[in-house]
Amino acid sequence: MRLTRIETVHLGEHPTLLFVRLHTDEGLVGHGETKYAPDALHGFVHGYAAPLLLGQDPLRIDRHWRTVYEVASRCGAKGVEMRALSALDIALWDLLGQAAGMPLYGVLGGASHDRMPVYNTCAGPVYARSLDRAEGVGRAGVYEDLDAFMTRADELAADLLAEGIRGMKIWPFDPFAAATRGQRIGLAELDAGLEPFRKIRRAVGREMEIMVEGHGLWSLPAAKRIAQAVEEFEPFWIEDLIRPENVGSLVELKRSTRTPMLVSEMLMTRYEYLPVFEARAADLVMVDPAWCGGVSEARKIGQMAEAHNLPVTFHDCAGPINLFAGLHLALNAPNAVYQETVRSFIRTFYPQLVTTNIAIEDGYALPPTGPGLGTALLPEVLKRPDATVVSTPAA
Ligand SMILES: [Mg+2]
């Protein structure tokens, strides 16, 4: 089998997303996805990666990862190049599964879990279409879960629990960061940020796990203050209260609180996670297959976590291809603890984009059926008026 064409697909409605499609001479099409700075991603995919991959056997995935990584890392491996490689790698694994006639979790080594618990990241349908983290606040409507957790977390928790979803991620301290660029959080702000926790516990007691997101907005002392303040509500984890670059600061934050600490979808490649493991800087590990280096790298980082007796969880706040990739990885990984989901995305725009949507029952994602990822972009998506499809054929 040979790769004959690389396509990128960008949709005006989802300006931060970029889809990749890898075509083969046997008629198979593998799908990948990543997010942020799509113009630059597009440039790397067609200008740098395509000449390395076109004409090659798509099933030599490790070889291709290394080849593209070595080009990408000549001037620093982080950022656009790794996200582009992530999308391409996801598509290669999709092709491997299709060629084998097996679901992706099958070719990864089979399912360690019959189904995977999900939690709901409480974002609304338009969240993360720009870099504005408050996008969706004040919007009314179905599945406006960001506005809901800020104003009526009790109703939201009860609603989620009624669906069988027993975990919710919230970021109620974010609005207070901008005033001091995250250097300080006042006691009154702290108290206001705790209100959703009180409402959740009053409404559903201890039936709901709470994940606390910090988006890397805070200084170390402010993060410590938040971490200690939320302890009484026993969150399942705190996440990215500080940015993850300084491992010593992570260790100091982790040791300052009894709340388990998760690190971090902001890291890319096993090389950035390695010092986190070595320093015992995390209680749980999060990876994003569409950012960290694809299925190949997410799997390796998950296995590094396993070797350190740590659970791994897979990030998704993007599009449906990434969610499917994460779910397959989670089903395979013996140490997977959750797959992240955004119900507002799954129920609003995912069905407009892909042939098969994720199946969730009673708070668990079910194994996808069908070979490879088990989903693909709908043919009509490529013909949408807001679609830009760019294709590079093999020479
Ligand atoms: Mg996060």
% of the chain beyond a pLDDT of 70: 97
CA distance 47 to 8: 12
Distance (Å) from CA 286 to ligand 1 centroid: 8
User: Is residue 158 located within the same domain as residue 298?
Assistant: yes
Closest CA to 238 of 224, 249, 252: 224
Does residue 78 surpass a pLDDT of 90?
Answer: no
Does residue 77 surpass a pLDDT of 90?
Answer: no
Q: In this structure, is residue 202 part of a structural domain?
A: yes
Distance (Å) from CA 54 to ligand 1 centroid: 34
Q: In this structure, is residue 344 part of a structural domain?
A: yes
What SS3 state is found at 252?
Answer: helix
Q: In this structure, is residue 167 part of a structural domain?
A: yes
Question: Containing domain of residue 361, as a range?
Answer: 106-365
Contact between 347 and 297 under an 8 Å Cβ cutoff? The reply is no
User: Is residue 332 located within the same domain as residue 218?
Assistant: yes
164: left (phi over 0), alpha (psi -120 to 50) or beta: left
The CATH number linked to 19 is 3.30.390.10
Give the mean pLDDT of the chain.
Answer: 96
As for how many domains the chain has, the answer is 2
Q: In this structure, is residue 371 part of a structural domain?
A: no
Distance (Å) from CA 197 to ligand 1 centroid: 18
Distance (Å) from CA 102 to ligand 1 centroid: 31
Q: In this structure, is residue 332 part of a structural domain?
A: yes
Residues 6+ apart with CB under 8 A from 56: 2, 3, 64
Distance (Å) from CA 296 to ligand 1 centroid: 21
| Amino acid letter for position 336 | A
Distance (Å) from CA 216 to ligand 1 centroid: 9
Distance (Å) from CA 20 to ligand 1 centroid: 23
pLDDT tens-digit series, residues 267-318: 999 999 999 999 999 999 999 999 999 999 999 999 999 999 999 999 998 9
Distance (Å) from CA 168 to ligand 1 centroid: 12
Which token pair is 327? Answer: 């779910």
Distance (Å) from CA 18 to ligand 1 centroid: 20
**H or E, element range at 34:** strand 29-35
336: exposed, middle or buried (Cβ count in 10 Å: 0-12, 13-18, 19+): buried
Distance (Å) from CA 215 to ligand 1 centroid: 6
Q: In this structure, is residue 247 part of a structural domain?
A: yes
Contact between 254 and 270 under an 8 Å Cβ cutoff? The reply is no
Contact between 356 and 338 under an 8 Å Cβ cutoff? The reply is no
User: Is residue 140 located within the same domain as residue 189?
Assistant: yes
Q: In this structure, is residue 370 part of a structural domain?
A: no
Distance (Å) from CA 342 to ligand 1 centroid: 12
Distance (Å) from CA 324 to ligand 1 centroid: 18
Distance (Å) from CA 287 to ligand 1 centroid: 10
pLDDT tens-digit series, residues 223-242: 999 999 999 999 999 999 99
Distance (Å) from CA 213 to ligand 1 centroid: 6
Q: Assign 3-state DSSP to the chain and report helix, strand, coil percentages, each to 5.
A: 45, 20, 35
Q: In this structure, is residue 233 part of a structural domain?
A: yes
**H or E, element range at 225:** helix 220-229
Does residue 133 surpass a pLDDT of 80?
Answer: no
User: Is residue 145 located within the same domain as residue 96?
Assistant: no
Distance (Å) from CA 182 to ligand 1 centroid: 17
The CATH number linked to 129 is 3.20.20.120
User: Is residue 340 located within the same domain as residue 388?
Assistant: no
